Structure 1
């Protein structure tokens, strides 16, 4: 078996997936709320190489050393650092600014904590909560919303934005029975009408955005169009934010993606160079086998 050929091939596949992750980051550099991905590679288990036929002075089972058998792209981890806020002056644009904490845990600048035993804890994240056409909950950081003729608050994909009561947000002025256009939202996500009075639901409670707290954002799966979903069985890891959580809603702003364009271009070139290096190794093996078959085989 040509171990080097298989090792180089696995390296090409890993770098191709890394390249795809980086290009996806660059493509979404202007997508509100997008969190850049980071492709993680892991090496296959090492093998202990031994000599099976030794000479007179070499034992038959002499150990030569360890051999690495290549790498593979293990997973794509999102970086959940806060993106910059961009002012739009659109009353239906919102951004979530959060700094959620866990007792006895001090997160670093990248939002992670590693304890003495090597356990990795990711900082919880706050997200908007929407409902798709099938009635399933989805989560997003893209706060570009609109209000239709029925007063329904929805995102660009037509998914309904949910309120604190878990029901779709409908902004209707009871006096005119028309959608409320000039709304104001407090930093707690509560809606105010044109007169600055709280908008109440049918139960007489203030209408506000349902902001969800994801205890482990790495459990959330990308669904496309800036949406995340939770696998069955992990629903308990997503709850509504509590009263004392450090979460603030900014009206007239959107959160920009946290993609670093300059670093992404550097990583893109690095992945390309590593891919080409593995490609040259495979070409070398191909020429060696060609010479073995065409030249040595004739002797």
Structure 2
């Protein structure tokens, strides 16, 4: 009986890890450019304590690997908004100064005149964080170049190149989620850059990419986990009842 209760209790504990990943995906259903995570993986660990040395227990671990399937693209008409095409990612500067990647493209200019996204991370260009001159109207082209024009100028004055967005292709790499929600190359040191490929990367100006989380699929999986949890609790209760029945048979008349 104790073994059956231990197995059910271990199942409930391992289900909690998968539920945390699923709940995090649901919480970011409306987050711009959010990418869902793959399901948890199972690994075998050796059970220490009295008993045979060959006892192993399955343990669920969160892989934090990112699904790069695209989300829906929404036209906004805002010249500061961009949606990253295909599997392109945008390089940004994390709060600790490391380079990381994101798909969030709701850009804005902070009070210091630097370009950042909706999460407050500085957007990186070819030469580092991108600085926008005061009062300049910017225009972002599909190739990631940023041009600026002084609205006070009259006539057909050409726009001036300010910088280029640091875009990288994530097709041949596996990205993992950092604690701050940004992406990094899975299995590499934080701040490692993605190798520059030969395929030209593009953005969709004046548009935003929505989350790729499927609400119906996520809710179905959450309901399935809830039913599995109820089943394990029922098994523990039934086991307790069987144990009490067996104990009563052993009592002396």
TM-score of the pair, normalised by structure 2: 0.80
1:117 counterpart residue number:
none
Q: Pick from 76, 81, 91 the counterpart of residue 129 of structure 1.
A: 91
1:169 counterpart residue number:
130
Q: Pick from 144, 162, 185 the counterpart of residue 189 of structure 1.
A: 144
- Answer yes or no: is 1:252 the counterpart of 2:188: no
The Cα shift of 1:22 comes to: 1.8
CA distance in 2, matches of 1:71, 1:274: 17
Q: Pick from 161, 164, 171 the counterpart of residue 199 of structure 1.
A: 161
Instruction: Please give the per-residue CA displacement for 1:198-249, whole angstroms capped at 9, x wherever unaligned.
Output: 414xxxxxx100113344234x23323x42245784469632543x325211
Please say if residues 91 and 124 of structure 2, whose CA atoms lie closer than 8 Å, have aligned partners that are also in contact: yes
Please say if residues 80 and 206 of structure 2, whose CA atoms lie closer than 8 Å, have aligned partners that are also in contact: yes
Q: Pick from 214, 217, 221 the counterpart of residue 174 of structure 2.
A: 217
2:237 counterpart residue number:
283
Per mean C-alpha deviation after superposition, the further-off stretch among 79-88 and 209-218 is 209-218
Q: Pick from 83, 108, 113 the counterpart of residue 146 of structure 1.
A: 108
1:29 counterpart residue number:
29
The Cα shift of 1:192 comes to: 1.6
1:238 counterpart residue number:
193
Instruction: Please give the per-residue CA displacement for 1:8-66, whole angstroms capped at 9, x wherever unaligned.
Output: 22222232322222221111100111111232353859xxxxxxxxxxxxxxxxxxxxx
Instruction: Please give the per-residue CA displacement for 1:98-154, whole angstroms capped at 9, x wherever unaligned.
Output: 2xxxxxxxxxxxxxxxxxxxxxxxxxx421111134322121111111113443101
1:198–1:229 CA distance, 2 compared to 1 (3 A) = same
CA distance in 2, matches of 1:168, 1:280: 56
1:82 counterpart residue number:
70
CA distance in 2, matches of 1:75, 1:150: 38
> Secondary structure at the residue paired with 1:193?
strand
Q: Pick from 68, 76, 80 the counterpart of residue 92 of structure 1.
A: 80
| Greater radius of gyration (CA) | 1
State the number of aligned residues.
234
Please say if residues 39 and 62 of structure 2, whose CA atoms lie closer than 8 Å, have aligned partners that are also in contact: yes
CA distance in 1, matches of 2:84, 2:234: 48
TM-score of the pair, normalised by structure 1: 0.69
> Secondary structure at the residue paired with 1:73?
strand
1:265–1:196 CA distance, 2 compared to 1 (3 A) = farther
> Secondary structure at the residue paired with 2:12?
helix
1:159 counterpart residue number:
121
- Answer yes or no: is 1:270 the counterpart of 2:224: yes
- Answer yes or no: is 1:73 the counterpart of 2:60: yes
